[in-house]
Amino acid sequence: MLPCVEIEPKTTATASVIWLHGLGANGHDFEPIVPQLALSDELAVRFVFPHAPNMPVTINGGMVMPAWYDIYEMSIDAKIDAAGIKKSAELIGDLIAREIERGVSSERIALIGFSQGGAVVYECGLSYAKPLAGILGMSAYFATHDSLISHKANHSTPVAIHHGHYDQVVPEALGRQAERLIRALGNPVEYKSYAMEHSVCAEQIDDIADWLNRALAGVVFHTESR
């Protein structure tokens, strides 16, 4: 089981958010955002921020750092470490199973991932064998779209995609590509873009809070692009 930072609600958790960081970061990366979301205590959300394993990363000269999978080169058409993504997706699947064992329904579990973490939550969430509340990819790309075996349990799971107009690490074109590919699977997709680089902004945090409120309440989503 991956080590995690966990933030418990004031009452017994009845919902969970599993939130993955990006390359070289750790589970503390998005921890400070939780109070800014100002979610209602009635949602009773447990936040789970897993730490990625340490591994050598090819584009960084083989330096060992927290990573969900290897990155071979910085190119839109680069070879993808699909095996590494799938392995990390299985580890996140184990965290989902643990939340279910703790008494949280799968339909009240949302996945969020930033950059590398987003690629992993797309793979994990869209292929998971039990229905989830929602999937949010932040400044991410759908790396395993060629090999993903989507599961019918999550064919209608709402997906949100957030991206920066000026992202030079993961160009927005890859966020738009993920939107098209996931829509083609039949999932309702909300796409929102922001005047930012490879980062997070205040407007986006408000949108994450709104999305979580709707996803964890089981609200019916409609496709949207902004």
Contact 137, 168 (CB under 8 A): no
Residue 70 among the catalytic residues: no
Q: Which of 29, 70, 167, 207 is catalytic?
A: 167
Q: Which of 51, 105, 193, 198 is catalytic?
A: 198
Residue 88 among the catalytic residues: no
List the end-to-end C-alpha distance of the chain, in Å, as a whole number.
Answer: 37
Q: Which of 115, 127, 139, 150 is catalytic?
A: 115
What domains are there in the chain, each with its CATH number?
4-225 (3.40.50.1820)
Residue 156 among the catalytic residues: no
CA 167 from centre of chain: 17
Per-residue pLDDT tens digits of the chain, which is 226 residues long: 999 999 999 999 999 999 999 999 999 999 999 999 999 999 999 999 999 999 999 999 999 999 999 999 877 667 899 999 999 999 999 999 999 999 999 999 999 999 999 999 999 999 999 999 999 999 999 999 999 999 999 999 999 999 999 999 999 999 999 999 999 999 999 999 999 999 999 999 999 999 999 999 876 555 555 6
CA dist., res. 74 & res. 218, Å (int) = 38
Please, what's the b/e burial string for 162-195 (b: 16 or more CB within 10 A of its CB; e: otherwise)?
A: bbbeebeebbbebbbebbebbeebebbbbbbbbe
Which residues 6+ apart lie within 8 Å of 158 measured at CB? 134, 135, 187, 188, 189, 190, 214, 215, 221
